[in-house]
Structure 1
Amino acid sequence: MSTAVLFKNARLLDPLLGELQEDRDILVEQGLVKEISDRPISTSAARVIDVKGKTVMPGLIDLHVHVVAVELNLARQVHMPNVLVTLRSVPILRGMLRRGFTTVRDAGGAGFAFKQAVESGLAQGPRLFVSGRALSQTGGHGDMRARSDHMGDPTCACCVRVGALARVVDGVDAVRKAAREELQMGADQIKIMASGGVASPTDPVGAFGYCEDEIRAIVDEARARGTYVLAHAYTAAAIARAVRCGVRTIEHGNLVDAPTATLMAQAGAFAVPTLVTYDALASEGESYGLPQESVAKVADVREAGLRSLEIFKAAGVKMGFGSDLLGESQRLQSNEFRLRAEVLSAAEAVASATVVGAEVLGMSDRLGRLVPGALADLLVVDGNPLADVSCLLGQGERIPLVMKEGVIQFDELQ
């Protein structure tokens, strides 16, 4: 239960400002930021915490996670027992929250039940925006079947496997129905595979996913429910056709070019780069069971990752924070900050995980900043992330307190 908490003498981080605001008092009541002042706040709060010398900042937002990706070998985990996958996802959720990510968007796999588990307190984790199962064409990035001389049945709506991050569906009428089904089952947004990928066995990275009529049908269904479509896409051609069809966020985007980035900016589409996953796949993917055909594809997109940030930035495309890690590599989530800081300023990297993430989720008035009326998602940090993002790395060692919606989740200040 949320109780009133007063943070005194904070160095307040507002992602819209270039420097910390010194000596701020922050009052949290009923799950919200009640008041922020440069003068002492008088209150009968249940707890007063003096954070002098420490930074207080909004909770982080990761727009591309897979909480049910408990293995690097996604084809193998499709066949794992549902209960085992579910239970193995629980520490993944807790780890994200401990690293300071108070909100995440699951980009394929987790459904409404995972939201229920977190919201009811059954599992400890970040606030979830779920996509249900991503939609993939036959032979696309979500089709985990190995090459064979016959076509076995892919995971479908009538054969639920918790370990399946995607479902295979083809044709305009079929994808329209699939989008409706995922929305009916509680998806907050719809994820599609608009190009080939690394973790899937049979699709080249440069392959298209879905024809334009199929993409438009899915976008129409999402818009009809007041939401949007995010698309896995690597190449400039795949990105451009997805954006022209109305896709709102492009996931990965490593092989973007300048004209396509300009098209994205003009359309108001967001990019969600996920650089850390390629580092993880290259360094430890094979040792944790990533198939050889996927290992061979990592190099195609890894080297282009940092260059894509430069292209997106030059075109004025807003970039959200994403990690896209699988299995044992989930612990590396915060390393995305380190990689982005090679191209972006620390302040830009922080903004991607706060205000930009909130804008993508349609929650700019509630998330991403600590202002009166916002949800009290709050981190106490040893260090200044606007100067050096290293204080956000690791497993939360330099984040002694994590609060989500007014409830303290982790506290090493006592």
Structure 2
Amino acid sequence: MSVVWLTGATIIDGTGADPIESCAVAVEDGRISALGGTPPAGAEVLDCTGLTITPGLIDAHVHFGGSSDLAPSLRRQISVAELAADMFATCASTLDGGFTTVRDCGGIDGGLAGVVASGKIPGPRIIQCGPIQCQTGGHGHLAAEWEPTSDWSDHDIPGLRCMSLLSDGPHEMRKNVRETFRRGADFLKLCVTGGVVSTHDKLTDTQFTVDEIEVAVEEANARGTYVTVHAHNNEGIRNAVTAGAKCVEHGSGIDDETAKLMAEHDVALVPTLAVVQALSDSAASAGLPESISARIGQMMQGQIDGLLAARNAGVRVGLGSDLIGTDQTGRGMELVLRAKVETPMDALVSATRINADILGIADEVGTIEVGKFADLVAFRGNPLTDPSIFADRERIALVIQSGRVVKDGR
């Protein structure tokens, strides 16, 4: 395979180092083969003069299984064909927006990840946990209030979507997480507190006992992977850290004591600000009742406070959007919001190097280094000086995934 050279761009390599002006990048067999230098005579060249190249962005918290209006999709008011079409469209739009890798935190079955990996539909590299693990009546159990719990599994669409599995007690947890791994999950996600998009709980509720969480951790460890937890209060987070979970999603209101505990146990945090903004603007856009806005309350500031406490304690802080509904094109807004809390460079490093580390794929992606996959995004302008660029699709000029050009709007 011939070497392709990208020339003339400013390179921000994702490590946190200063940008490098007009640095050439050579790509061969899907990987970065050289940084710097001059293309030889006759080489294939992509002229990127005036562009800024970063590593392919990583969203560490997506829900491709929630790509349709959520409530109708769980009431059999949307056909399986439309559900699949919405998921495929979300996969394509995510890649088009510069996100070359995602971690799906609950809802898809292994079939979606497989069909994207096969190249049959465009989309990012998908690392997924299959169904969410939740307790009866807990966050993730999204049935209507009148629906018998015994009917919940009837919503599963094998090979496409399974929103959650219900466990009450360590024995059921062990059975369900083993089933989840059988279906091809790469890691596990548990809900250990109530949530915003919930039917039967409050944000202050804690869910699952330490014993139940420990079973999931034991099974994950046996397969060389990890448990992450949805959590919106400190008690739930401390239970999960004590039980051995390695990542916390959302982390609203993390206090200094909890942040210190997370740092001591090398537990990462993935804040999700974009979904809070989106639901505050319009819950209906995700197919949810506007009354859900009342549950959001101080969620944005709570996540910001938790993020800053975690940073101060030395916790690895990644980045996720958590968007749901038919329009998930706003993933770049997560970097824009984070750049207002920290620096644009902090936001970018969280969305690249740190996310790759959290996902366990830092040897392959997340930074622009020789030997890694050529996952690259070229922006018109410099997002470090104008972070709004991250959310402006018209300013994404080029997207390359594993050395293959998947978008070229130069």
Q: Is the 8 A contact 1:75 1:144 kept in 2?
A: no
Please state whether the residue corresponding to 2:113 is helix, strand or coil: helix
Residue identity in the other structure for 1:8: T
Q: What's the counterpart of residue 397 of structure 2?
A: 400
Contact 2:16 2:346 in 1 (8 A): no
Which residue does 2:10 correspond to in 1? 11
Measure, in 2, the Cα distance between the counterparts of 1:67 and 1:251.
16
Aligned twin of 1:193? 191
In the alignment, which residue of structure 1 is the partner of 2:107? 109
- Within the candidate set 296, 299, 305, 1:298 is matched to 296
Amino acid aligned to 1:383: G
- Could you give the per-residue CA deviations for residues 155-210 of structure 1, whole angstroms, max 9, x where no partner exists? 33895475542222222111111111111111111111111001111110111121
Q: Spell out, residue by residue over 1:107-132, the C-alpha distance to the aligned partner (whole angstroms, 9 max, x if none).
A: 00122211221111111000000110
In structure 2, the partner of 1:309 is 307
Cα displacement (A) at 1:91: 0.9
For the 8 Å contact 2:285–2:325, the answer to whether it is kept is no
2 CA distance for matches of 1:249 and 1:22? 36
2:44 is aligned with 1:29: no
2:260 alignment partner, one of 259, 262, 265: 262
Greater Cα offset, 350-359 or 338-347: 338-347
Aligned-pair distance for 1:76? 4.2
What letter corresponds to residue 11 of structure 2 in structure 1?
A: L
Unaligned segments of structure 2, at least 5 residues: none
Which residue number in structure 2 is paired with residue 65 of structure 1? 62
Kindly indicate whether the alpha-carbon contact (under 8 Å) linking 2:285 and 2:327 is maintained by their aligned counterparts in 1.
no
Which residue of the partner structure matches residue 97 of structure 1?
Answer: 95
- Indicate if the aligned counterparts of 2:109 and 2:162 stay in contact, CA closer than 8 A: no
Which of 47, 50, 55 pairs up with 1:53? Answer: 50
Equivalent-residue separation in structure 2 for 1:176 and 1:326 (angstroms): 29
| Residue equivalent to 1:248 | 246
Compute the TM-score of the two structures, normalised by the length of structure 2: 0.94
Please say if residues 69 and 163 of structure 1, whose CA atoms lie closer than 8 Å, have aligned partners that are also in contact: no
Letter in 2 for 1:62: D
Q: Mean alpha-carbon deviation: is it higher for 231-240 or for 310-319?
A: 310-319
1:330 aligns with 2:328: yes
Q: 1:95 to 1:34 in 2, by over 3 A?
A: same
- Tell me the alpha carbon deviations over residues 284-342 of structure 1, each in whole angstroms, 9 at most, x when there is no partner: 11365313553321114233222222212211111111000111341221111121112
Helix, strand or coil at the partner of 1:306: helix
Structure 2 equivalent of residue 284 of structure 1: 282
CA distance in 2, matches of 1:346, 1:159: 40
Distance 1:215 1:288, change over 3 A: closer
Q: Deviations over 1:8-32 (max 9, x none)?
A: 1221112224421112111101110
The equivalent of 1:141 in structure 2 is 139
How many matched pairs?
A: 408
Correspondent of 1:352 among 350, 353, 360: 350
Alignment partner, residue 320 of structure 1: 318
Q: Which runs of 5+ in 1 are unaligned?
A: none
Percent identical among aligned pairs is: 34
Q: Distance in 1 between matches of 2:282 and 2:290?
A: 12
How much does 1:81 deviate?
3.2
3-state SS, counterpart of residue 40 of structure 1: coil
Pairing 1:216–2:247 present? no
Corresponding residue SS for 1:186: coil
Matched residue type, 1:202: H
Q: Which amino acid aligns with 1:310?
A: L
Q: Is the 8 A contact 2:241 2:262 kept in 1?
A: yes
Length-normalised TM-score, structure 1: 0.93
Native 8 Å contact 1:309 1:343 kept in 2: no
Residue aligned with 1:231, SS:
strand
Shift, 1:41, TM fit: 3.2
User: How large is the Cα RMSD of the aligned pairs?
Assistant: 1.9
Q: State whether structure 2 residue 147 is matched by structure 1 residue 156.
A: no
AA in 2 matched with 1:279: Q
Contact 1:176 1:217 in 2 (8 A): yes
